[in-house]
Structure 1
Amino acid sequence: MLKRIKNLLKDNLNIIAILLTISIAILSLMKVGKQPIQINGLDKIEHAIAYFVLTFAWLLALRKSKINAKLIVLCCFLYGIIIEALQVTTTSYRLGEILDVVANTTGILIAYICYLSFFKKNEAI
């Protein structure tokens, strides 16, 4: 059963990474109603988690390709900046914040560190 799940994920990692990229764009640019519970800094944690998942998915999807992992990290970073710029320029209801870019970058770097530490130890995977 686990082997089937592993094969299914391996075969669809590119699709998963693309869907995650599109989902982050949609969620970042859509109008969101007022949240019933306000917790300071929660949105920064959400940014870090979203970009951790995005970066890790792309690193896994392109692991066997000739694309350097640092280039994937750079692309995820630039994607986050583009999304923040689009929030400012294309919407009247969303704000682009420098702290969002910092949170995105934190998630990206944690994903990169986890990826390197996992695959350096388990190069046979």
Structure 2
Amino acid sequence: MKITQHLSERKFLYFAFFWSIFIGYICLITIKKTPTLVSIPFKDKIAHFSFYFILFYLWKKALNVKEIKSQLKIVLMAVLYGIIIEVLQGIFTSDRHADIFDALANTLGAVSAFVFLRFVNK
């Protein structure tokens, strides 16, 4: 039983690591303007919110933390990661810029996941 639990936790560690790299990659690459069939208001902010909601969830599962203090550390790390990515966008990309509202959407995603999972787990 412990072996399957260990493999399950390791699986989430791989997912969390991959998701972190994916967020960094997708936020720092050049994306050509492509025509969209459906115009969704604030779709960029919804994407940022969703990315960091999932990021918090995956790292919480990967590290198997149950204490509030440890979960808040994950929230803080996700927020810092989002800020770092925004700064890197401003420095290293020519077609993207650092956006405080993207950082806010990242923060809201991580905090919302923390709050949501606190209520779901009760």
Do both share a fold (TM > 0.5)? yes
Q: Which residue of 95, 109, 112 maps to 1:110?
A: 112
1:57 alignment partner in structure 2: 58
Structure 1: 5+ residue stretches without partners: none
Question: Where does 1:69-84 land on structure 2 (aligned, <5 Å)?
Answer: 69-84=71-86
Structure 1 residues 7 and 54, CA gap change in structure 2 (3 angstroms) = same
Aligned equivalents of 1:48 and 1:106: distance in 2? 6
Contact 1:59 1:115 in 2 (8 A): no
For structure 2, the residue ranges without an aligned partner over 5 or more in a row are none
Partner of 2:27: 28
Distance of 2:22 and 2:54 partners within structure 1 = 12
Q: Distance in 2 between matches of 1:96 and 1:9?
A: 36
The amino acid of 2:105's aligned partner reads: A
- Cα distance in 1 between the residues matched to 2:32 and 2:85: 19
Distance 1:78 1:72 in 2: 10
Q: What is the count of residue pairs matched by the alignment? A: 116
Partners of 1:85 and 1:96 within 8 A in 2: yes
Distance 1:70 1:82 in 2: 18
Shift of 1:7: 7.8
The aligned residue for residue 92 of structure 1 is 94
Superposed CA RMSD in Å reads: 2.2
CA-CA distance at 1:9 after TM superposition? 4.1
Cα gap change, 1:35/1:7 in structure 2, threshold over 3 Å: closer, same or farther? farther
2:12 aligned residue: 13
Counterpart of 1:78 in structure 2: which amino acid?
A: L
State the SS of the aligned residue for 2:15: helix
Identical residues among aligned pairs (%): 35
